[in-house]
Amino acid sequence: MQQLSFKLFQKKYLTHDVYELTFTTPEKINVEPGQYVLFILPKSKLRRAYSIGYTDGQTFTFIIKQIEWGAGSTEICSTEVGEELVGMVPLGHFVLKENTTPKLFIGTGTGFAPLYFQIRAMMDSGIETPLMYIFGVRTTSDIFYIDELNRMKEVYPSFDYRIYLSQEDSENTTRGRVTDFLTKENVSAYGEFYICGSPAMVKDARERLEASGIEKEKVFFEQY
Ligand SMILES: Cc1cc2nc3c(=O)[nH]c(=O)nc-3n(C[C@H](O)[C@H](O)[C@H](O)COP(=O)(O)OP(=O)(O)OC[C@H]3O[C@@H](n4cnc5c(N)ncnc54)[C@H](O)[C@@H]3O)c2cc1C
């Protein structure tokens, strides 16, 4: 683990409260898909963890929800292009197993960040195996990266995704929770499970996988 300077290179709005922040670092570092950076925020001195959404080792993308009254997320989302933050990296054990085992990814909101990096890493590795992403948000206004998910489906035919909306009915989505997908029949095609989202969702998903006969050793998770 090392302390590095992260310079904001690009800032995009993905939804009404989710930002994509892309930083560059002065040197290239090795991180594993699923790991995170612990930022030390300059004004408040708060320490906040953010999963790496994608990196080539020197350009780092994060997907961050600005939480109402959330001091850390508001500060990091207020960073201007050109400003620098200090971050400790790499951290975390929620890492991808790069193998041919079919994988199911389950994420809600910005829990997509580490899963996106893991799915992209599988695609970049050239290993061809079924990958399924189950993406949960509240309403259509909370969906992001839809064009990117469709592009991924095109370039990697064994990738697919489903969107679950907990508070709205809409075309091409399912009304309900991501955990509704976790029936014995649906999960039987996969050998590894990567979950990221709120503690309540992660707990529910793990319980449903266990009830479907999935061994605990095959389930990996991060919660925030
Ligand atoms: C390993 C790890 C990786 C993480 N990666 C990401 C990431 O990629 N993207 C990201 O957006 N966040 C991520 N987080 C969460 C992040 O670290 C902060 O906890 C989050 O940004 C809230 O910090 P805050 O200072 O704004 O809110 P705080 O001031 O700490 O909390 C303000 C209020 O918001 C509530 N709250 C906290 N988190 C949430 C939430 N997610 N939704 C709704 N209410 C909440 C708190 O309970 C509290 O009441 C990660 C956390 C961990 C531990």
pLDDT tens digits, 31-59 = 999 999 999 999 999 999 999 999 999 99
- Ligand 1 centre distance from Cα of residue 45 (Å): 16
Last residue of a domain, which of 31, 66, 91?
A: 91
Range 88-110 average pLDDT: 98
Ligand 1 residue neighbourhood (C-beta within 6 Å): 36, 46, 48-51, 62-65, 67, 69-74, 92, 110, 113, 222, 224
Range of the domain at 51: 2-91
CATH number of the domain that residue 170 is part of: 3.40.50.80
Q: Are residues 75 and 182 in the same domain?
A: no
Using the mean position of ligand 1's atoms as its centre, give its distance from the Cα of residue 224 in Å. 6
In this structure, the answer to whether residues 108 and 87 fall within a common structural domain is: no
Considering the domain architecture, whether residues 109 and 175 belong to the same structural domain is answered as yes
**Residue 53 sits in the same domain as residue 138:** no
Q: Is residue 97 part of a domain?
A: no
Which pTM does this prediction carry?
Answer: 0.97
Q: Please report whether residue 56 resides in a domain.
A: yes
Q: What percent of the chain has pLDDT over 90?
A: 100
Cα separation, 40 vs 46, whole angstroms: 6
Kindly state whether residues 183 and 150 are assigned to the same domain.
Answer: yes
Q: What is the mean pLDDT of the chain?
A: 97
SS3 content of the chain, % helix, strand, coil (to 5): 25, 35, 40
Closest CA to ligand 1's atom 13: 50
What was the pLDDT predicted at 130? 98
Q: How many domains does the chain have?
A: 2
Average pLDDT over residues 109-119: 98
Residues 6+ apart with CB under 8 A from 215: none
Query: Which residue's CA is minimally distant from atom 46 of ligand 1?
Result: 70
Task: Give the mean pLDDT of 69-74.
Answer: 97
